[in-house]
Structure 1
Amino acid sequence: MSSSDCNTVRSHLSAYHDGELSAELAATVAKHIESCESCAAELSAFESIGSAFAQTQMPAKPSDLWQRIERELPMTAEAVTLSKRFGVWVRESPYGAGLVSMAASVLVLLGAGLWYGGNNGDMAGGGAMAMHGSDGHSHDGEMSAEHMAEFAGVMDEYLQKLPSDPDAAERMLLAKYNGEKVDSDGAVKLVGYRPIISGELPEGYSLASTSVLKMPCCTCVKAVCKRSDGSTLVLFEHDDDEAAWFGDRPSSMAMCGDKDCCLVDLDSSIAATWKQGSRSVTAVGVRDQNEVATLVNWLDKS
């Protein structure tokens, strides 16, 4: 192997770092690295990744881990997949949080290595092409922004229809996001948890329908509620903490009951989002902050 052949040397760097090469091949790689700053820097990236693994502290598994998982499992005879159990563990367990933190550190180091290589050699140049188009922009980021902008546009159309024609607004949203009307048990099968909007509602409200929507942010449960005067209030239960649902409409933070709520001005009404357990609730078509507090207090007791 020619000592000047960087591409060939780079193909052996991982094995060289792990001590898996024969003595003769390892000596050749070592000799090349002594005289090549680019390959030496790439080897340093492998060493940084190894160091990140070695230094990462893994929190001890809490003694009540399984009890936490069981509390999140749906109260149904339906089988719960291993992937759903793992998702609960990652969200609830500090051990799982440590694993996610370690993985994020490794990804940052790998990204830095690809960036460096993209400016210094052919091998990482291929990696740069995987992340960027010919215009130099990250297409993954652009697609995400496009989806959220489209989502905000759909929600704006939904909000315009909701006060005057709630049935048309409902049909539009169901058609756009593959909505399926379900009861509580049907929701469990689709999202893996029993909706919090499944029991009795506060006095003056009734449940008109429940559906599951595959929205860009997540798969969420939507409950259409009717007030005693016939007006409509819609509650979304979703996994994401905060999504750009309402575009650039004015918003503010306020205490509603015992929750920090994000309130959004919808002209003739408001929307409110708050954390409810491990998920979030967004109420659309709310009259005022007092009504948000009523809903928050009811959900806390249900």
Structure 2
Amino acid sequence: MLLNSFIILIYINVCLASTGDLSPFFQKCVDRCLFSNCTKDDIGYKYPRIVPLSLKLLRWTCKDNCNYECMWGTVDALVSRNWDVPQFHGKWPFVRIFGIQEPASTLFSLMNLAVHCRYFYYLIHLNGDQTMVRFWKMNSIVNIHGWIWSCIFHTRDVRLTEIMDYICAFSIVSFSLLCALIRLSYWKTRKIKCIFTIIMLIVFLNHTAYLATGLFDYSYNMFLNVFVGGLTCVLWIIWCLKNIHKYKHLRKCLIFVTLMPAVTAFEILDFPPIWWLIDAHSLWHLATVPLNIVFYNFIIEDIRYLQKEDVIKKL
């Protein structure tokens, strides 16, 4: 008994020096679990009748389940000794609910999805075939598609859902930049709008092809998203400050573009999940819900303003 305790202490000590999934304690646990519960391919279960239906529906392989069970065995050993909680495969440990890996992030992604669906329904019932109406409708569709994949990714993190989540995230930020460019050049010629559209399409397709290889640099992907998103915010801020004395509805846009970079700070923060459910990333998803509502209110008021201006110019 003393020898076993000593061995566990050694394994946990090593765990503190590296990520959780690289610790000998975790790896030994997984090896034992695979031998006892899994078929030779590590995918199937030797005793499938005892596997919950939720795990079968969400395609948790036997190896995935062993990783999850052994993760908590390692975490429990650490917490009982008041030691730091490590990450596993680059992620904090989360309590699995009905097979969902990150319940809070999934829930908050669904809330964002609901916001975009609600306002897309509103946009399609707006009168007129104005340029900005069409672009804001497409923007809603891009966001709806992106948040669907965010829900899927946080429900089950596998290679395909990870890549799709990154592609969709970039589609959101790149199309947001395009909408900003179209709005800021609204009174310019159609040729300029076409040039902006082609440039952003090329940028998006190029980065999507890069992400689709699955061999991308995570730091570069983050940098590009932050750069495009930051550029979008800067353009909106300059335009709002320049015209806010003429158009009161620009205040809502200004609120959005100034608070969005602030809540993005949640992505920089990093701490073990509260109640093993809520981490900094999930809080970022939660914070974007009210901000998206504010921005949609700006969009609707701006569309109405442009419609009035178009009527005046035709007279």
Please tell me the TM-score bracket, short chain as reference: under 0.3
Q: Of the two, which has the highest radius of gyration?
A: 1
**Would you tell me which structure has more strand in proportion to its own residues?**
1
Structure 1-normalised TM-score?
0.27
- How does the TM-score come out when normalised to structure 2? 0.26
Bigger helix fraction: 2
Determine which structure has greater relative contact order: mean sequence separation of CA pairs < 8 Å that are 6+ residues apart, divided by chain length. 2
